Amino acid sequence: MTKLTPIESEFATTEEAEAYDAWFRAKVEARLASKSPRIPHDEVMARMQRIIDRRKNV
């Protein structure tokens, strides 16, 4: 088990970093293979801006 410093990684060990990378890649691959409808970039950005705006006003 190789320890990592916070400067190198947000993970404590290379094993944790590799496990996260594998999980993340699997999620991305599954989404790219999905047949569900895509959401246009502009719509996603508008949704996120509304969330940010709501949080600023709390």
Residue 29: pLDDT band with limits 50, 70, 90: very high
Give the chain's mean pLDDT. Answer: 90
* Residue carrying structure tokens 């790219």: 32
Report yes or no on 37 lying in a domain: yes
Domain carrying residue 51: 14-56
| Residue 48 in this model has a pLDDT that exceeds 80 | yes
Distance of CA 30 to the CA centre of its chain: 14
Report yes or no on 30 lying in a domain: yes
- Total domains in the chain come to 1
Distance of CA 20 to the CA centre of its chain: 10
Report yes or no on 28 lying in a domain: yes
Report yes or no on 3 lying in a domain: no
Report yes or no on 9 lying in a domain: no
Whole-structure pTM value = 0.59
Report yes or no on 8 lying in a domain: no
* Residue carrying structure tokens 């508008």: 46
| Residue 2 in this model has a pLDDT that exceeds 80 | no
Q: How far apart are CA 28 and CA 1, in angstroms?
A: 27
Report yes or no on 7 lying in a domain: no
pLDDT of 3: 75
| Residue 35 in this model has a pLDDT that exceeds 80 | yes
